[in-house]
A and B are shown apart, each in its own frame.
Chain A
């Protein structure tokens, strides 16, 4: 089952003063299977966030078609988009911009209340969302007093309360400290592995991307490459053409190799590099 399907989708932002400002998403076709974890990479302005907003119908395509579990985002049924949004949760970059209530519990309830979920059911959903994000003890806390990582977990919990099938993280870790980043990535990982949720992670951290099932590379609104992290990161020239770089461990491995240290394995993670170096240095 395809969770997300793009068929030749294009979108351009319109501006009142100018006729046409170039396409933000330009003829993208893709199919993401349900239950996959996908990293969406590209330079600033390559169309990643636009693509994400096309998925849940915050933006509608100028041409082509976007389908979520087979439902097109443009359709005659006025409830169609509503149904799609219930299935696609989104968490944005800045935790301070996406909270509505002042208490954790109320904030998580906002989404389900909005779509008219029964009261008892909302309580159950809040319990589950808090449990999953490991935020139970903050249920009655003031959001403004939480750390960045905790706030982002509240944002994820808010998205989870709608019981979505797809979770989109739009640079959700870029403002967090290293621990906060790890916490958010761990929640995303277990949602994917344990609940089979489809995860779309838009990120500039190549080490996060290295953990995804597949990577999509965007450049100037076009899909340039897709593949497993190994496939994508072994195509150095395309990665660089997109204004990106390899995970730090891969780059250091390449530098070590250039300095005459014979690392043969494909390295994408720090653990892999450490293991390889141990082997090399302990051999003699």
Chain B
């Protein structure tokens, strides 16, 4: 499923004196299989944009196509299709563990599935739940009957993600997936996303304030500022202008900072900003 947005505009509190323009003529294409990073200062429109992707907010103005689904402002609304769309575009919000509510992990994950597939048999539901738990790296035998509230922060977040991927979405959107997790939890969660991306060949879209995670994992990046997309491309393109990145309230990833500092001293390291490539290029320069 490809995502195409053209000329998206969105205003909160429209026609009141409190109106705020959250999206301003946004054009963006996200291809199937992308690991896409969305960055930008707080309040830049990132979350508003992703909420468009499964019609949590209606398109006010512009064109939005998600696979075969036309969500454009002037397209005809089909409620049934909308439900299918929402099972295909999984949305993981900020701090999703706050949304856990059932008394066992199994019931919590099953809730998401039953919402979309109320006709499914007990067996089908159980299979889907067990598979989702395995995918997020929680052994179902061990965790299914535990209370989600007895788990660690990182584990709770995995349960919440399992509750979303249980419908086997083709696109997985995560709003700041690692915020508030400890370093180990962060590392494991990013690894999980990479696995989902490789194994299930899903499109993954992350909103993040962590430039290193973005440079390390995303093949494409879009930078939001004041509701507009001000830069898009590979991490290398996007982080090429350190001054501009600072003006956008962002920062360079570590590899980008090192490349820039070395360049100012006359050493040109031409890498794609992943650590692996950075190390390789440094080795090459050292060998001469």
Contact = CB atoms under 8 A, between A and B. Distances in A.
Interface in B157-187: 176, 179-187
A259 B287 CA distance: 12
A93 B183 contact: no
B283 interface: yes
Contact of A284 (B42, B183, B288): B288
A204 B183 contact: yes
A135 interface: no
Contact of A44 (B43, B182, B250): B182
A80 interface: no
Interface stretch (B71-79, B230-238, B255-263): B255-263
Most chain A CB inside 10 Å of its own CB: which residue of B42, B186, B258, B279:
B42
A219 B266 CA distance: 45
Contact of A180 (B211, B249, B267, B282): B249
B254 interface: yes
B261 A261 contact: no
Most chain B CB inside 10 Å of its own CB: which residue of A179, A181, A284:
A179
B27 interface: no
A178 B211 CA distance: 8
A43 B184 contact: yes
A176 B249 CA distance: 10
Contacts of B142: none
A208 interface: no
A188 B258 CA distance: 26
B258 A45 contact: no
A81 interface: no
A226 B28 CA distance: 48
A178 B183 contact: no
Interface residues of A, number: 41
Contacts of A181: 209
B261 to A, nearest CB: 4
A179 B279 CA distance: 27
B258 A180 contact: no
Interface in B236-282: 246, 249-251, 254-255, 257-258, 261-262, 265-267, 275, 278-279, 282
B285 A281 contact: yes
Main secondary structure of the interface of B (DSSP, over half): helix
A244 B254 contact: no
Contacts of A281: 262, 267, 282, 285-286
Contacts of B42: 147-149, 175-177, 180
Nearest to B253: A248
A267 to B, nearest CB: 11
A278 interface: yes
B194 interface: no
A252 B259 CA distance: 13
Contacts of B153: 44-45
A43 B176 CA distance: 18
21 contacts: A44-B153, A147-B42, A149-B42, A174-B179, A175-B176, A177-B40, A177-B42, A178-B211, A178-B249, A179-B41, A179-B250, A245-B187, A252-B278, A255-B275, A256-B282, A261-B279, A261-B282, A261-B286, A270-B254, A274-B262, A277-B267
9 closest Cβ contacts across the A-B interface?
A44-B153, A179-B249, A178-B251, A148-B42, A243-B184, A274-B261, A245-B183, A43-B182, A177-B41
Interface of A: 42-46, 93, 147-149, 171, 174-182, 204, 206, 243-245, 248-249, 252, 255-256, 259-261, 270, 273-274, 277-278, 280-282, 284
Interface of B: 40-43, 152-154, 176, 179-187, 209, 211-212, 246, 249-251, 254-255, 257-258, 261-262, 265-267, 275, 278-279, 282-283, 285-286, 288
